[in-house]
Structure 1
Amino acid sequence: MRGRISVHMIEGAPVVEPYSVVALSPRTFQMKEREDGVENVKRINNFMDTAVMVGAWEGAPVRLVVIPEMAIQGMIANTPGNREREAHFAVTIPGPETDELSKKAQQLNTYIAAELYMVKDDDFPDRYFNVAFIIDPNGEVVYKRYKATSDAYEGGMLGNMNPHDVWDEFVEKKGNGNAMNAIFPVARTEIGNIGIAICHEGVYPEIARGLAMNGAEIIIRPTLIEPAVMTGMWEIQNRAHALFNAAYVVAPNLGPEILPDGGIQDLFGGQSMIVNPRGQIVAQQKGWTSGDSFVCTTIDIEALRRQRIANGLYNQFKDLRTEQYRAIYDQPIYPKNQYLDAPPTEGWLAREDATRARNIELLIERGVLTPPTGYQRNGGSANTPISDTVEKTAKG
């Protein structure tokens, strides 16, 4: 067992000594069968041993290891909306994959944060979600968060949905009627308060802010696909989330995908990073490599807490005039409860495409968006459906 983190007491409150964080960028392997996820976890765990050993050379024990979104499952060869195929690939938390990670968390005496998608949920039969989780050093799953915002492709490509699609029941069942606890849960641990914003959620400012407003001091933001990495969006977003929310951002991205023929393809671009609460990158992988890689650094939760309660310029929480910000979202845009009565079926992507097209028209009507000259409503080259693009790509 690794040495436990040093914690002492001042006036009854535990003081967290600085510790090291490791963000992994493992190679990815597509799941062909349900059991492949466990083999992927074992491969990641082997590399984790090396990364944690090196991470401890920072001079402080490694107490948090973060694994990117999709690292465990890769891209499932699935047909979204096909009930039989989805049931075949759907996973549970806890389950075989988390069991393997639990063993490693106990062995290394560290928290492990990771993600699984198309996860079953007893509260919502025949619905699947993208779920991030944290395992503590005792091997227990102490945190689960359901991805609340996804891009136009995700549901139609992977087979999962968002809490907003079953909104009323989700808030009641997962948050006991409290939307903050249902959508922005935070794990309050001995090493700090941790929340996870999954992949595309980091494209928007609201998810990270919601976690911060629920107490998150460390925001884990795993994975973003190209071309958002090469164009700098990934870095800008991660730094902004850290700066605007006075939080550490730990952002691991996927390593290259190893193909069945032994070839390698890189759809994510690497560039894993850790950002401090002032928005400064303190550890970063430049580009990508052909193998497993990681970044690490030492973080200081007590210093962060001092910054957050200081009555100065960089403590923005004290200045929030919430009533005027709430008005921004008084009028809804994306429809809620769209899969409350029945689960999605095949043709999911086309339905999502139509929903987003209607949202654009709604925003034009409200004056939020001004269309360019020559814009043709509900048609024209500027409005080529996402579903058409995906179908052509798949056929090619």
Structure 2
Amino acid sequence: MIGGNISRWTMTYFAAALTWLLAALALMAAGIGHPATDVAAPDTLVLVHVICVGWLSTAMCGALFQFVPVLLAKPLFSERLALPALGLLTAGLIALLAGFMALGGRLPSAPWLLPLGAVLLVAGFGLVIVDLGLTAWLRPTGPARFVLVGLASLCTTVTFGAVFAFALAGWAGPVGDAVLARGIPLHATAGLGGWLTLTAMGVSYRLLSMFMLAPDVEDRQSRQTLAAGGLAVAAAVGGGAFAIGLGMGLNAVFSVAALLGLTCAALYGRDVAGVFRSRKRHHLELNMRMAMLSFASLAGTAVLGVALVSMGTLPLHLGAFAFLTVFGWLSGLVLAKLYKIVAFLTWLETYGPVMGRAATPRVQDLAAEQRATKWFAIYYLAVWAGTLALLAGEPSAFRIAAAAMTVGVIGIIHEIIRIRRLEDVAPPLRLPAGSVAPHLLFAKT
């Protein structure tokens, strides 16, 4: 990537995403949403969409605008679409959340807010899908295939979400009401399983290889992993839609999808283990050590899911299963990689133009890993404690865990800001002649 293009708005996406993450943690610590209320209650819908749209999807979009061109060794279709997309996503999410709050009686009744939010989110995600899809579809190789399947899943997720929003507003008719009544599991599977998980897997392949100086995962192996994951999502969403249309139950469909999902997780573990074994950089930096904890959480999610299904208690503990998936696996991986990505992009922006003409620090010199380790440790320990609290049915203990997660995330954000401001770089190397200090929220290039 030396001398390559830096996405101007990736840092803006990251800042917005982290703001939404803090909002989600504040809601959980305050006892708003599950487990204080039912999983289908308006307050829980607010919390879920702050996490999945505001935090995870926004962070993922920002990373993809930077790394899809790297995966394909070609420029982004249009850099100009990134900022309008973020504006539409932010406005749409705010309108959607206001609509949910009106449903729960926290705001005056305003049924039009939900359709408005859906339209704005469809427009925002539409720009993302067009920009990234037109960049990737002509030459989908290796990890880029995961991104394309993830984008297809995002289309499905957004479509279901829009139907739900219109149905909740009373504007969708009998068909929309029927989809709302039974389609929520399909919406969640397409979003968490297809869009967020498969995309995270694909991007992680490239990041792991880049940051550990390891060969890329063999194309045959990554195809197997993607096939299992893609089939799992297709079985759940396509098979589920077919079953709903025929008035059948979803248990058989989701059993098949779960088996395929477990196969995908096992194959992904095989691929990641291969990258670690073949790496040339034997000393693991902080982001890799923390990523290993997210992989452990993914394995824990699989084990927990199997245990809950075998005991017939998955519906009772669905919140704990989703919490470990979202915060142990997905959020943990995103936070670990953000820590490194921000340092990497800041180094490229600041020192790339003067490399070879002046002494520059190393990428790892921009971060103080020893100081940052404790914040990640607090975060992961709190996530695991929160999962146990949910399994034990202890909402007070869960709120304490959420507060501890907030402390860890605030510490991580503080370290990321220090990286962006070059505060841990020794003065002789901080800004050599010809370099320019980066802006906190966007790239100057």
Greater fraction strand: 1
Q: TM-score range by the shorter chain?
A: under 0.3
TM-score for the superposition, normalised by structure 2: 0.23
TM-score for the superposition, normalised by structure 1: 0.25
